[in-house]
Amino acid sequence: MMGPRPVLVLSQNTKRESGRKVQTGNITAAKTIADIIRTCLGPRAMMKMLLDPMGGIVMTNDGNAILREIQVQHPAAKSMIEISRTQDEEVGDGTTSVIILAGEMLSVAEHFLEQQMHPTVIIWAYRKALDDMISILKKIGTPVDVNNKEMMLKIIKSAINTKAINRWSDLACSIALDAVKTVEFEENGRKEIDIKKYAKVEKIPGGFSEDSCVLRGIMVNKDVTHPRMRRLIKNPRIVLLDCSLEYKKGESQTDIEITREEDFARILQMEEEYIQQMCEDLIRVKPDLVITEKGVSDLAQHYLMRANITAIRRVRKTDNNRIARACGARIVSRTDELREEDVGTGARLFEVKKIGDEYFAFITDCKDPKACTIILRGASKEILAEVERNLQDAMQVCRNVLMDPQLVPGGGATEMAVSHALTERSKGMTGVEQWPYRAVAQALEVIPRTLIQNCGASTIRVLTSLRAKHTQEGSQTWGVNGETGALVDMKELGIWEPLAVKLQTYKTAVEVGFTSAPGQGGILAQRDFDRRFSPHFLDWAAFGVMTLPSIGIPLLLWYSSKRKYDTPKTKKN
């Protein structure tokens, strides 16, 4: 007698993997991603040069910028890249640290999985360790006076000393602090610092890096619409529009039947009257400068020029919003609704300058701008792009301190202090949970260990000395000098990090540890599964290390190689 036929839930060309194989694959993927950017941590970080598929060059040591260019297929590897992006969006710094720490959290969990410890036990221990880490961090944190300019510059400098712009660190720190202080806005006890919206970075190739500055106002890459319009206006009255100064055509196709010859002339006259009426609405409020997001017709330019009004067209909406905030104007959608209170009078100077081959319009010397433009000058577009990334990190660090004025020591001192505290707490725990809990403390040591490795010091000797130092009372601020590898008091060296960055780093890294490690399975098409869960899941290859003598920075060169995994098509007979 035949038994019941098997029920096929999945398609025959799918494959299911579960258990240890998937867990090991997740951990291996995370460790490999962490190893890619391990050399990008600290003052001795190496720059990496990446060639994108379009042939462009990205030269950076920013963790998020590197991982953004790498094509991966493994789900766990994609998750690691995603947490770097999240870290960058949330606090703007610590993108390299969070990847290294998350990879180590998964690495120490592998030992317990091999011993058949249930993933739930590991997750419980990781959650408990995370709660204790947060409480320890808040105890270590020290308040800072945000009005102390010297202290704020030290904090920003410690963040960009690991970046490519450390040669101009004093200038970069001043630019970052001035920009963030400019866009800081407080109303009804609520503080707002929106760097992305109100602090625009304009990169202009050429000149010297020392020519970079922060404008107390806005600069846009535009020229006036008519050559006879004024290019220099003092104390301008500014009107902002998001409508066009052209005849508005119908939304759909329009047919007009003309029976007499003079009707065609009447239609043209109506168009001219419409444009003339819009210009009269503008002239009524006596502006000196009109800026619109849309077009300006030749006839409108003629009327405005006769009224001695300068016009700029096709400005981006984001730039228009910045101009409105800087000069106090309101953006108007219809010219007939224009009122005197919509005119901006906060700027003291409007001028158009030619820099290189392009014209730039400057609206500067604003009374209380609350928006700014950062002008960056440099030798090439690639260098300017890296300087912009570094400057964005510096501004985010400044913003974090202004929003939450709490600091913790850098140089791996915080990690060692938290690691020592967790180890002491684990001694009072019972059961198997104490071992994963203690492993979290061990994983935190990866940050000072990596700093020691990157500056070429003896890892075992320095790390052992650092452990011994943190057993002494009042030694929580001792860490690793990232340039020499020696032990030093971070308070004396002046290396500090925002508490908000550390909190976000620890939360993200530990949460990745208890979400990726206990992965139990995956179902994919047969060819996709072999590709995505194989050990060779990265579509990149390292092929050399090179040094640029001109700047003396070691560069690790990577290239993307798009692999073709699809099965070849067979020809039909």
Check 132, 223, 288, 393 and give the catalytic one: 393
Nearest CA-CA partner of 217 in 299, 312, 303, 328: 328
* Rg of the Cα atoms in the chain: 30
Using alpha carbons, select from 99, 39, 33 the residue that is nearest to residue 539. Answer: 33
- CB 134 within 8 Å of CB 503: yes
CB 386 within 8 A of CB 553: no
Query: Which entry of 60, 62, 342, 505 is annotated as an active-site residue?
Result: 62
Q: Which of 28, 39, 95, 335 is catalytic?
A: 95
**How many CB atoms within 10 Å of residue 551?**
11
- Strand locations in 56-136, DSSP E? 57-60
Residue 573 CA to residue 559 CA, distance in Å, equals 40
| Alpha-carbon distance values, 466 to 143, 411, 452, 483 (Å) | 25, 11, 11, 16
Q: Which residues contact 263 (CB under 8 A, 6 or more apart)?
A: none
Q: Indicate the SS3 state at residue 136.
A: helix
96 assigned to active site = yes
Q: CB within 8 A of 59, min separation 6: which ones? A: 47, 48, 49, 50, 164, 382, 383, 386, 555
Q: Which tokens sit at 141?
A: 């944190």
Sequence-distant (6+) residues with CB within 8 A of 253 are none
The verdict on whether 162 is a catalytic residue reads: no
One-letter identity of residue 479? G
Q: Where are the alpha helices (DSSP H) in 404-498?
A: 413-426, 434-444, 446-454, 459-470, 490-493
Q: Is 62 a catalytic residue?
A: yes
Catalytic residue flag (residue 263)? no
Q: Are 338 and 324 in contact (CB under 8 A)?
A: no
**What contacts 473, CB < 8 A, 6 or more positions away?**
none
Candidate list 60, 96, 477, 505, residue with the active-site label: 96
Active site residue ranges: 62, 95-96, 393
